[in-house]
Structure 1
Amino acid sequence: MTTGRKQTVTLLKKKMQRRLLTDTRKNLHRKFLSEHIGQVSYTSFCRLRPFWVVTPSSSDRDTCLCNKHENLQFMANALQSQGLLSSRNIEEMSEATMCDPKAKVCAYGECSECLLTCHPMLTIPGEENIRFSQWMTEKITKDEKVSTITVKREITTTQHDLNTDFQERLLHFKRHVFNINWQFNAYRELRRSLKHNESLLHIDFSENYSCKYSQEIQSVHFGGSHQQASLHTGVLYTAGGQAPHTFCSISPSRRHDPVAIWAQLDPILKVVRERHPQVSILHFFSNGPATQYRQKGNFFYLSTDKYGFKEIRWNFFEASHGKGAPDGVGGVLKRSADRIVAHGGDIPDAQSLYDKLKSLDTSVELFFVPERDIESKTQIKAIVPISLTPGQMKYRDISCLCKREEGVLDCPCFNLQEVTLADVPVSSDESPASGKAPDNPRRPAMIEVKHIGEWCVVNYDNEAYPGFIMDAEGHSVKVKCTHRNGINKFHWPSPREDICWYYDWHILCLIPEPQALNKRSVQIEASAWKYVEEQLQK
């Protein structure tokens, strides 16, 4: 490469970096305006940048990003590079397809005016090939064990097919963005208006801390001798202008399921009862992983509370957007622990981590939860409820505080529904915390990314549509379906494939891969088909 070409390439790279930095600043400016009252120009926003906000270096990288945002942004970037889109701002594009971006009916696709609205393209997409990146889940087999991993792949498709997929994902993205903004606004409003008998707990699991020695021999450093400690962090907010109370429970157990959650919540809930006896209503805010907080076992423990609170409400931030103060608590403790190690201290296990941090002058209240305390909860045969209606709970799509000032917390807004968990068994081998679904052994409690590639049956308008799972995000599942052409006889539709997003509860069951009858048709295994027929006749 000649010197002139090298200089040109260098200038282009610098220009691209400046452009990306400008786009990042503009996105931050838009988010700032959406979360704060008043107007601040982009120029003033950059000029008033605090000194601790520094320009990222090449060693920095973003982690814990949102899968929906990233994959849709990759698509928008590819379409814009082909001259099909005038902008790469996916949130602005989603707002442009709605009558009212602040209305739930528009964001959830329940508005007849904007239900089928698509974002316009500058030109008609053609059949030219286009490449873009996507985060995908893949199943790998190692030592006869199948596991699921997430990888970033380059995909080649046509402009027409990419536009079709982009418009479909943009339809779901509207709901995603609406939930993000709504839940954070509800969180801020609740914190601002807490009453004397209310308390708010914002909790989250921090990434496990890898214990270490200040000096390690080679077999320790390169071997598997390092232990891990679970950190369950949180912030307690109460009324009356009191300062937030930060806390963290440390445990050698690596379990993050409902059993571990309530074992780690036990000490802080006792603190709330002792120090704030006037509190009778407890509000939880957390992120919503299906294996931790948003899980049947957690709801069971929640609905059979034994701590003496009159009412407990659990609010979930939108998936991949639950970062907040608890993450800061975990960061402070981990940096403090690393500082201890850097100055010659040893932290070989969870007990040492607790003892070392306890000796520091920190405002974070620490609790140690032995592994036996967590395991003992799995042996509980029954939980004695003190609520008036044990095993019953109400839920809605998004949080609502419209009648809270009147003392009403169960207003009928946003599709309020009631569910009874009284029939859920709580024996040690079939507890709701185990994640099993004894009432429906043919499908898990929730369809997740680990089920991608498996076959299922979709119940749509009381008709069976077998197909395989292509994607899963929250309560939505993407399935490529076959169509029926006889009794237990199905074929792939042609020329257009039947690929659609369904709600989780549309998945009737998981099935083995159907067997081929001929070149076009397949058949479901007999016992599975009998189960499907029985369910459809109910």
Structure 2
Amino acid sequence: MAIRNIQDVITSVKHKRNGEAKAALNILTSSVSGENISDRKRATKSLANILGVNSRTLQKGKKSRTKVLHSEHSLFLYTTRKTRSDALTERTKRIVHDFWLQSNVSRPTNNKNDIKRVRISPNVYSSHSCYILEKTQTEVFLQFKNEYPDEKMGQRAFEKCKPYFVRTAQFKDKVTCCCRQNVEMRSLFKSCMQFRKRLLSREGCSEVKLYESLSELVDDTLCTRSANTHQHKISCLDRLCSECGVCKFSMLPGELDESDVQISWERYEYKNVKVKGDKMIRKLVLKLEVSLHVTILHRHSVLEYDGKDSTAEEPNIITEQFFVISPDQKHDHHYTHCVQNLVSEYLKSINCEISVMHEFTDGCSSQYKSRHCMGDVSYSCSDFGYAKILRNYFETSHARGPQDAAGGFIKKQADLAVIRGTHVIQSSSDLFDFCPPRQTLLNVLDEFFDM
């Protein structure tokens, strides 16, 4: 019965030339041109014969259907149908939807195959390329509240209005351009913004903007994106447009003064590196490996340092995480001996007198079990001032503990910072500067271990 009704309607409107008849025909052909029909030529011909139209008409319906389902309007409709209609106005939903897509909030992934596909009705799907967040959702919400203080909404409602193709950063998204030009440009941009920040604090000018990212700077020199797309025109990107260009970039007088303080930034050069067979190759190294050694330190409290004393009758044990960040990539017995020395110096600096040191380590031969390691242990008492040192070894695969979780927490946060583009970590000093202050790190780790 439904097919007969469709046949009757198509028969009555397909020969008419007015706008209403054409619209009705387009609606009908688009509604019946689903994925199971449009992707099969035989099914398309069979359906065309049943409805009394040619295959070309159904192909036009397929194009109209695809255009509608892949438009920005359909993406916004999916967001609006997820929220309650009586909670937020359409204007607020649109503001939140567009805010999630700002360049300083999210960005497209580097993989063109990252496509998110959702079902919006029976046998109807909408798809869009994936975007990843440059920061956490809480940080995005706080930024939104600062920019739109008049919009009254909670974080839960704010996250519900997030486009379905925007997701948090993952480790697989750690794909970036490592070409020399890109790395040097990012370093130059960072140094220039630091120089501008100093000038703004000194001159107090509000006409220029302090950019957070290079993409934000480029966007200001281009024409505004159209409402239907989030991409710039190709003529603007090629600098062929007469309405935009670098002339829109405002600069301070101090930035144009060549006699002022010079800006320094990192610049990478090719160097000769020795490889196997006494051969030399020309190589450009963009990233340095970093060694992270974690020590879980259990000690008696010190009255002057901890505010509470520890006695044999009432012992008070303090647990600390001791991190050593080094560019040394060997991580051999010399490295561990240096870590022991740093631990000893720290204990002496807080007036914690240690007579007996108990060590619990894994069974790594290059760090703790070889003859060289035993030689270091034999000199540990004289080197560090202990009366006795006892080294205990865990059985194989039994040394997992809070030290691994603490080190993993630091590395995970560093990875996310690099993925989101908030920090550039290319050396051990960069990782050290990235780590929060001591007291803040201790509070974060305590909360992490209590979870």
Do Structure 1 and Structure 2 share a fold, with TM-score over 0.5? no
Give the TM-score normalised by the residue count of structure 1: 0.26
Give the TM-score normalised by the residue count of structure 2: 0.31
When you count strand as a share of all residues, which structure comes out higher?
Answer: 1
When you count helix as a share of all residues, which structure comes out higher?
Answer: 2
